[in-house]
Amino acid sequence: MEIWINPACSKCRSALSTLDAEGAEYTVRRYLEDPPDAAELRAVLGRLGLEPWDIARTQEPAAAGLGLKEWGRAPEDRDRWIDALAAHPSLIQRPIITSDDGTAQVARTEDAVRDAMGRGGAV
């Protein structure tokens, strides 16, 4: 499994601690240094079963600069959101765990991390 993290994020560090405590095998992706492109975001959104606005951090300065809170949330707005997340990866909610079974989870709680591990990520 892979976990997208920002090392400065306490939720990300907590998720890594949980994975380590359980002996999980995983790959770390520092997504601010290695940002996903639009195609990769579409794939992860499909795995999450979410829309791009569902994983957007609308309180970030970049979101305010874009006026993100005012953007539409209809199917025709989807590509605009995805392009914004690809251009400004700090807007992506974290951490995100992609599990070996093809699913993904926004893992902001210990329960969510354990749920992701239970779907094929644990050793």
Cα–chain center distance at 7: 14
* Annotated catalytic residue, options 2, 4, 7, 9: 9
- Give the C-alpha separation, 65 to 51, whole Å: 21
Active site residue 9: yes
| In contact, 12 and 31? CB cutoff 8 Å | no
Closest CA to 3 of 25, 22, 63: 25
Which residues form the catalytic set? 9
